[in-house]
Amino acid sequence: MTKILFVDDQGNVLSALRRMLHGFRKEWDMQFAQGGQEAIELLEEFTFDVVVTDMRMPSIDGAELLRRVRQRWPAIVRIVLSGQSELERIYRAVGPTHVYLSKPCDAERITDVVSQSCDLRERLPNSTIKQLISQLDRAPCQVSALAALEKELRDEAPSIDRVGEIIASDIGMTAKILQLVSSSFFGQPKRVASPEQAVSLLGVELLRELVLSVGIFEASDFGDIDGFSVQSVTEHSNRVAEFAKHIAEIEGQPRQVACDSWFAGKLHLIGKLMLAHCLPAQYRHAVQMTKDRGITLWQAEMETFGASHAEVGSYLLSLWGAPRPICEAVYLYRTPGRTERILEDFRPITAVLAANLLTRTEDRWRRLDDQVFYASETILDPQFLTQMAHWHAATQAM
């Protein structure tokens, strides 16, 4: 049973939450704290999976409460549920907050966010990884990308197109910008078509403050691991993103499905970067295992961490409130189950699975009919193989 702590300084708001969420008492163990200090006392006494707090409270406000929760209980999912708040408070909350919900908020939205944030917890058995991923308050990104972004934003007249281009070039930056527009940090949540559109919605001045003052990004060398190339990961992700979007488009899918397919392709390897950033020594060992034993990095991750980069990446994205179809595609892109089902019900996982297969050229991929590839981890039914041949021909022209 998921244990949730709701925090607000107004008793009538807590009473309203009790009434609204009464129907979930069999799924959730809920407690209610009137103010930040009472919340801290309950956190010290009981174990919680999720904290949902108002922002504007006396003494210990929501941003400060979540900062303390992040430090002392890092594995807890941290959600803001608040009305209008000063921009300065929001800046302070951006780091420790996973998802920001604006009042009024109905029960369906609250339950959807909580369930998405918690669903993948059980599939990630390594408690250390869960804590490290949950504790991230800045998105790790490539040193060169952050330097270029900071340089552009320090210009007297920064180009919004250039800012969008830089953010779209980096996996960590793309994930963070998706988090900001998928929540209510700076307005109503939006489903965006691209990082460039997200940048346009937020605006250059806000991004300048977030990047240069608040510090939402962190330059990382991702462990500087021999045999692990961040550039190769990025280039492969870019190619999968473009292929996935193209496949969705030629299948006549709605624009949002095509755009979600692009995001899922761009982010499908983000778990590798998070493992290399958070646990560099262990990831270096996993990479070395691939050389010493001739196993795949996927297998080495499973042996080292008890989970693969797919679970880690999808857990991060679900915590950050990314759209469910994107999280699903990142989680399942190597192990989708019966492929005829995802072919009949086309969604981003369909596009990303196909795009990833079509862009791999390592020895473990086996050529079939001179047109399609398959992996030992993925069972492709005949109908999917036939469709793969069609997609392969279409992507060769790109």
Closest CA relative to residue 48, chosen from 61, 66, 33, 30: 30
Instruction: Give domain status of residue 74, yes or no.
Output: yes
Q: How many CB atoms lie within 10 A of CB 154?
A: 11
Last residue of a domain, one of 119, 151, 167: 119
Instruction: Give domain status of residue 323, yes or no.
Output: yes
Instruction: Give domain status of residue 135, yes or no.
Output: no
Closest CA relative to residue 211, chosen from 142, 140, 150, 167: 150
Q: Which two tokens stand for residue 350?
A: 């369909």
Task: Specify whether 145 is located in the same domain as 94.
Answer: no
Q: Which is more confidently placed, 365 or 182? A: 182
Q: What are phi and psi of 301, to 5 degrees?
A: -65, -45
pLDDT per residue as tens digits for the range 43-76: 999 999 999 999 999 999 999 999 999 999 999 9
Instruction: Give domain status of residue 300, yes or no.
Output: yes
The secondary structure element, H or E, covering residue 77 is strand 77-82
In DSSP terms, 7 is beta-bridged to 33, 53
In DSSP terms, 4 is beta-bridged to 30, 50
Task: Specify whether 248 is located in the same domain as 372.
Answer: yes
Q: Is the pLDDT of residue 225 over 80?
A: yes
In DSSP terms, 80 is beta-bridged to 53, 100
Task: Specify whether 276 is located in the same domain as 378.
Answer: yes
Task: Specify whether 183 is located in the same domain as 105.
Answer: no
Q: Residue 72: give the domain boundaries.
A: 2-119
Question: Do residues 110 and 81 lie in contact, with contact meaning Cβ atoms separated by under 8 Å?
Answer: yes
Q: Is the pLDDT of residue 382 over 80?
A: no
Closest CA relative to residue 247, chosen from 353, 171, 327: 353
Task: Specify whether 262 is located in the same domain as 356.
Answer: yes
Q: How many CB atoms lie within 10 A of CB 198?
A: 23
pTM of the model: 0.92
Q: Is the pLDDT of residue 118 over 90?
A: no
Last residue of a domain, one of 87, 119, 151: 119
User: pLDDT class for 342, splitting at 50, 70, 90?
Assistant: confident
> Could you write out the three-class secondary structure of 93-120?
HHCCCCEEEECCCCHHHHHHHHHHHHHC
Q: Is the pLDDT of residue 365 over 50?
A: no
Cis ω for the linkage preceding 104 (within 30 of 0): yes
CATH number of the domain enclosing 372:
1.10.3210.10
Least confident range of 158-167, 190-199, 222-231, 373-382: 373-382
Report the amino acid identity of residue 256: Q
Q: Is the pLDDT of residue 180 over 50?
A: yes
CA distance 334 to 240: 13
Task: Specify whether 95 is located in the same domain as 149.
Answer: no
Q: Which is more confidently placed, 235 or 384? A: 235
Q: Which two tokens stand for residue 16?
A: 């309203």
Q: Which two tokens stand for residue 329?
A: 């595609």
Task: Specify whether 88 is located in the same domain as 201.
Answer: no
CA distance 197 to 290: 39
Closest CA relative to residue 358, chosen from 327, 390, 336: 390
pLDDT at 187: 84
CA distance 47 to 67: 17
Percent of the chain with pLDDT over 90: 75
Closest CA relative to residue 249, chosen from 371, 380, 359, 346: 346
pLDDT per residue as tens digits for the range 73-107: 999 999 999 987 788 889 999 999 999 999 888 89
CA distance 195 to 178: 7
Task: Specify whether 265 is located in the same domain as 350.
Answer: yes
Instruction: Give domain status of residue 124, yes or no.
Output: no
User: pLDDT class for 338, splitting at 50, 70, 90?
Assistant: low
- Please compute the mean of the pLDDT values over residues 289-314 and round it to a whole number: 94
306, 241, 226, 143 alpha-carbon torsion, rounded to 10°: -110
Q: Which two tokens stand for residue 170?
A: 């980096």
User: pLDDT class for 263, splitting at 50, 70, 90?
Assistant: very high
pLDDT per residue as tens digits for the range 240-260: 999 999 999 999 999 999 999
Q: What are phi and psi of 205, to 5 degrees?
A: -65, -45
Task: Specify whether 365 is located in the same domain as 281.
Answer: yes
DSSP states of 219-242 as a string?
A: EE-GGG-TT--HHHHHHHHHHHHH
Instruction: Give domain status of residue 136, yes or no.
Output: no
pLDDT at 370: 38
pLDDT at 181: 96
Task: Specify whether 249 is located in the same domain as 113.
Answer: no
CATH number of the domain enclosing 99:
3.40.50.2300
Cα angle 124, 130, 131 (rounded to 5 degrees) comes to 165
Q: Is the pLDDT of residue 7 over 90?
A: yes
Task: Specify whether 157 is located in the same domain as 24.
Answer: no
pLDDT, mean over the chain: 90
Q: What domain count does the chain have?
A: 2
Instruction: Give domain status of residue 130, yes or no.
Output: no
Closest CA relative to residue 329, chosen from 211, 135, 145, 345: 345
pLDDT per residue as tens digits for the range 134-165: 999 999 999 999 999 999 999 999 999 999 99
Instruction: Give domain status of residue 129, yes or no.
Output: no
Last residue of a domain, one of 119, 151, 183: 119
Which residue is associated with the tokens 């392709």? 265
Task: Specify whether 158 is located in the same domain as 289.
Answer: yes
CA distance 136 to 134: 6
